[in-house]
A and B are shown apart, each in its own frame.
Chain A
Amino acid sequence: MIRHIRWCAWFCALLLAALLVNAARVQVWEAAAYRDNPANKRAAVERWARPRGDILVEGRPVTGSRDSRQLLRWERTYADGPLYAPVTGFASQTYGTSLLERAEDALLAGTDPGLTAFPVWYDLARGRPDGGNAETTLVAAVQQAGYTALEGKRGAVAALEPLTGRILALVSSPSYDPGELSGTGTAVTAAWTRLNEDPARPMLNRALHETYPPGSTFKVVTAAAALDAGVVTDVDAPTRTPDPYPLPGTRTLLPNAASGCEDASMADAVRWSCNTVMARIGVRVGLRGMAEAARRFGFNDAGLRVPAWVSRSNFDTDMSPDQLALSAIGQFNTKATPLQMARVAAAVASGGELPAPYLVERATRADGTQIRTGGRSGGSGRAMTPSTALRLQELMVGAVEDGTARNAAFAGAVVGGKTGTAQHGVGNAGTPYAWFIGWAKAEDEPLPGVAVAVVVEDASGDRGDISGNGAAAPIARAVMEAALRAGP
Chain B
Amino acid sequence: MLLAGAVAISVLGHLHVGFALTGAPPRGADRYAAGLACAALLAHLAVRFRAPYADPLLLPIAFLLNGLGLVLIQRLDATTPHHLAAADQLRWSGLGVALFVVAAAVLRDHRALQRYAYLAVAAGLVLMLVPVFFPPVNGAHIWIRFAGLSFQPGEFAKILLAVFFAAYLAANRTALALTGRRLFWRLRLLPGRVLGPVLAIWLLSVGMLVLERDLGTSLLFFGLFVIMLFTATGRTGWIAIGLALAALGAYAVGTLEPHVHSRVEDWLHPLASIERGEGPGQLAQSLFAFGAGGLLGAGLGHGQSFLIGFAAKSDFILATAGEELGLAGLTAILLLYGILVHRGFRAGLALRDPFGRLLATGLASIIALQVFGIAGGVTGLIPLTGMAMPFLAQGGSSVVTNWIIVALLVRLSDCARRPLPDEGAEGRG
A27 near B326 with CB under 8 A, answer: yes
The answer, yes or no, to whether B394 is at the interface (CB within 8 Å) is no
Residues 329 to 344 of chain B near chain A (Cβ within 8 Å): 330-331, 334-335, 337-338, 341-342
For A5, give its contact among B290, B345, B380 (CB under 8 Å). Answer: B345
Contact A27 B365 (CB under 8 A): no
B292 is an interface residue with CB less than 8 A from chain A: yes
Secondary structure dominating the interface of B: helix
Chain A contacts for B330, CB-based, 8 A: 23, 27
Q: Which of A14-22, A75-83, A173-181 contacts B (4 or more CB under 8 A)?
A: A14-22
B368 in complex: contacting residue of A12, A37, A41, A126, CB < 8 Å: A12
Name B331's closest neighbour in chain A (CB-CB). Answer: A20
List A residues 1-48 near B (Cβ within 8 Å): 1-9, 11-13, 15-16, 18-20, 22-24, 26-28, 30-35, 37-42, 45-46
How far is A87 from B246 in the complex, measured between Cα atoms in Å? 66
**B341 and chain A: residue at smallest CB distance:** A12
B94 interface contact, C-beta 8 A? no
Please tell me which one of the listed residues A1, A2, A20, A45 contacts residue B232 in the complex, with CB atoms under 8 A apart: A1
Residue from B341, B357, B361, B380 in contact with A26 in the complex, judged by beta carbons closer than 8 Å = B380
Task: Identify the closest chain B residue to A13 (Cβ).
Answer: B338
**CB-CB < 8 A to B327: which residues of A?**
23-24, 27-28
A26-B291 contact given A1-B354, A4-B230, A8-B361, CB 8 Å threshold: yes
Against A, the Cβ 8 Å flags (1 = close, 0 = not) of B268-303 are: 000100100001100010011011111100110010
Q: Is there an interface contact between B379 and A26, defined as CB atoms closer than 8 Å?
A: yes
Near B by CB (< 8 A), chain A positions 299-343 give none
Interface residue from B274, B338, B342, B354 paired with A37 (Cβ < 8 Å) = B274
Q: Are B294 and A28 in contact (CB under 8 A)?
A: yes
Q: Are A3 and B274 neighbours in the complex by a CB distance under 8 Å?
A: no
**Cβ contacts under 8 Å, A40 to chain B:** 280, 288, 291-292
Considering the chains assembled together, what is the distance between the CA atoms of A42 and B306 in angstroms?
A: 10
A250 and B330 CA atoms in complex are apart in Å by: 82
Contact of A3 with B234 in the complex, beta carbons under 8 Å: yes
Please give me the residue from chain B that is nearest to A27 by CB atom. B327
Contact pattern, B 210-228, Cβ under 8 Å of A = 1, otherwise 0: 0000000000000000010
Q: Which residues of A contact B354 (CB under 8 A)?
A: 1
- Residue contact A16 to B338, C-beta cutoff 8 Å: yes
Closest chain-A Cβ to B398's Cβ sits at a distance in Å of 19
Task: Say yes or no: A8-B365 contact (C-beta < 8 A), given A23-B379, A35-B291, A42-B307.
Answer: yes
Would you call A28 and B295 a contact (CB within 8 A)? Answer: yes
Selected contact of B234 from candidates A1, A11, A30, A126, CB within 8 Å:
A1
- The B104-124 residues at the A interface (CB cut-off 8 A) are none
Chain A residues closer than 8 Å to B348, beta-carbon distance: 5
> Does B126 sit within 8 A of A, measured CB to CB?
no
Given A23-B334, A42-B307, A126-B298, A31 and B227 touching (CB < 8 A)? no
Q: Is B376 a contact of A22 with CB atoms below 8 Å?
A: yes
Contacts of B335 in A (CB 8 A): 16
Which bucket holds chain A's interface residue count? 35 or more
Most chain B CB neighbours (cut-off 10 Å) among A6, A8, A37: A8
Which residue, A26, A30, A33, A40, has most C-beta atoms of chain B within 10 A? Answer: A26
- CB-CB under 8 A from A2, the residues of chain B are 349
* Distance between Cα atoms of A41 and B231 in the complex (Å): 48
Partner of B291, one of A3, A16, A30: A30
Closest to B230 in A: A4
Known: A8-B227, A19-B376, A22-B379. A27 touches B295 (CB 8 A): yes
Number of B positions contacting A (CB below 8 A): 52
Question: Is there contact, CB below 8 Å, between B284 and A31?
Answer: no
Which residues from chain A contact B279 at a C-beta distance below 8 Å? 39
Answer whether residue B372 sits at the interface, using C-beta atoms and an 8 A cutoff: yes
Residue of A nearest to B227 (CB): A8
Smallest beta-carbon distance A68→chain B, Å: 15
Residues of chain A with a CB closer than 8 A to B271's CB: 37, 39
Chain A positions within 8 Å of B322 at CB level: 23, 26-27
Which residues does chain B contribute within 8 Å of A8, judged by CB atoms? 227, 230-231, 345, 361, 365
Do A26 and B290 have beta carbons less than 8 Å apart?
A: yes
Whether, in the assembled complex, B364 has its beta carbon less than 8 Å from a beta carbon of chain A, the answer is yes
Q: Which residues of B contact A45 (CB under 8 A)?
A: 304, 307
- Given A5-B349, A27-B322, A27-B327, verify A19-B230 contact (CB < 8 Å): no
Does B2 belong to the interface (CB within 8 Å)? no
A11 to B334, CA, bound (A): 15
Q: Is B405 an interface residue (CB 8 A)?
A: no
Give the Cβ gap from B11 to chain A, nearest Cβ, in Å: 24
- Contact residues of B between 41 and 89, Cβ < 8 Å to A: none
Assuming the contacts A1-B234, A42-B307, asked whether A27 and B357 have C-beta atoms less than 8 A apart, the reply is: no
Docked pose: A442 CA to B294 CA in angstroms: 62
Interface centre among A7, A11, A16, A35 (most CB of B within 10 A): A16
Is B157 on the interface with A (CB-CB < 8 A)?
no
Determine if A33 and B334 form an interchain contact, defined as CB atoms under 8 angstroms apart.
Answer: no
Which residue of the partner chain, among A7, A12, A19, A126, contacts B302 with CB atoms under 8 Å?
A126
B381 proximal to A (CB < 8 A): yes
- Chain A residues with Cβ below 8 Å from B232 are 1
**Once the chains bind, are A5 and B361 in contact (CB under 8 Å)?**
yes
A39 and B304 form a contact (CB under 8 A): no
Q: Are A34 and B291 in contact (CB under 8 A)?
A: yes
Q: Chain A contacts of B209 at CB under 8 A?
A: none
Q: B375 at interface (Cβ–Cβ under 8 A)?
A: yes
- CB-defined A-B contacts under 8 Å, sample of 13: A1-B354, A4-B230, A12-B364, A19-B372, A22-B381, A28-B327, A31-B292, A31-B294, A34-B290, A35-B291, A38-B274, A42-B288, A42-B292
Which positions in A face B, CB cutoff 8 Å?
1-9, 11-13, 15-16, 18-20, 22-24, 26-28, 30-35, 37-42, 45-46, 126
